[in-house]
Copies of this chain bind each other. A is one copy, B any other.
Amino acid sequence: MGIVTCDIATSVNGYVTGTDQRLDSPFGDGIDEKTLHGWMFDEPEEHAEEIAGILDAGAFIMGRNMFSPGRGEWDPDWHGWWGAEPPYRAPVFVLTHHPREPLSLGQTTFHFVTGGAKAALSLARAAANERNVAIAGGAATINQYLKLDAIDELRLHVTPMIVDAGERLMDAVGWHRVSLVSARSTPPVVHLTYRFDRQGVAPTN
């Protein structure tokens, strides 16, 4: 059976966006599309293995705020940030409070789940069909799954930048012991992969 993975590009201090994400600034103030992801665009060959890992899953889960800059009721004309052929090419389960019919774009179908994080994970596991389920982001969604202790492998892609404010990873997500599986650095990014040790989630004193 597959595991639950999570790849996320982050600043040194765990921020994945700045403040006030919106249509003309999807990553929020202070962070453009290359601030934390420049290594993907500028040096794809150097980071081919890590980039392939991000999309190597049978199903994906993302938060509403990663799918759309809108809040509240859906704008049915909004079809995501990725154009006619999103890179996922698998079912994507979007956590939302607002029902919406599934949306198919190329080889990707977005399913809108109103039953919460656990329900989305069950649906994604079933859809992944023995392959991995990837938690795609953003920070609030990842933090929710960390708190549920549902992530098996966390792959941080750490950009040399310190962010003042925004959406922060691993914020109030409980205590977790992890093991370093691999570490690899290039000038623009440090790739750190951690596995969760399920037997050691309690604090040490």
In the complex, how many residues of chain A place their beta carbon closer than 8 angstroms to a beta carbon of chain B? 41
CB–CB B185/A183 < 8 A: yes
A11 to B15, CA, bound (A): 15
CB–CB A172/B180 < 8 A: no
CB–CB B180/A187 < 8 A: yes
Given contacts A32-B205, A178-B160, A205-B31, contact A13 B14 (CB under 8 A): yes
CB–CB A175/B170 < 8 A: no
A19 to B10, CA, bound (A): 25
Our pick among B156, B165, B175, B185 for the contact of A164 (Cβ within 8 Å) is: B175
CB–CB B170/A162 < 8 A: yes
- Taking chain A's interface residues, is the majority helix, strand, or loop, or is none over half, making it mixed? loop
Q: Mark A185-205, 1 if CB is under 8 A from B, else 0.
A: 101001010100000000111
- Does chain B have a CB within 8 A of A122? no
A161 to B196, CA, bound (A): 9
- Does chain B have a CB within 8 A of A169? yes
Report the minimal beta-carbon distance from A195 to chain B, rounded to whole angstroms.
9
**Residue of chain B at shortest CB distance from A205:** B32
- Does chain B have a CB within 8 A of A108? no
A176 to B146, CA, bound (A): 27
- Does chain B have a CB within 8 A of A126? no
CB–CB B170/A12 < 8 A: yes
Our pick among B162, B165, B175 for the contact of A162 (Cβ within 8 Å) is: B175
**Residue of chain B at shortest CB distance from A38:** B204
Residue of A13, A163, A194 with most partner-chain B CB within 10 A: A13
- Does chain B have a CB within 8 A of A177? yes
- Does chain B have a CB within 8 A of A29? yes
CB–CB B164/A173 < 8 A: yes
Q: Mark A52-86, 1 if CB is under 8 A from B, else 0.
A: 00000000000000000000000000000000000
A162 to B172, CA, bound (A): 10
CB–CB B161/A205 < 8 A: no
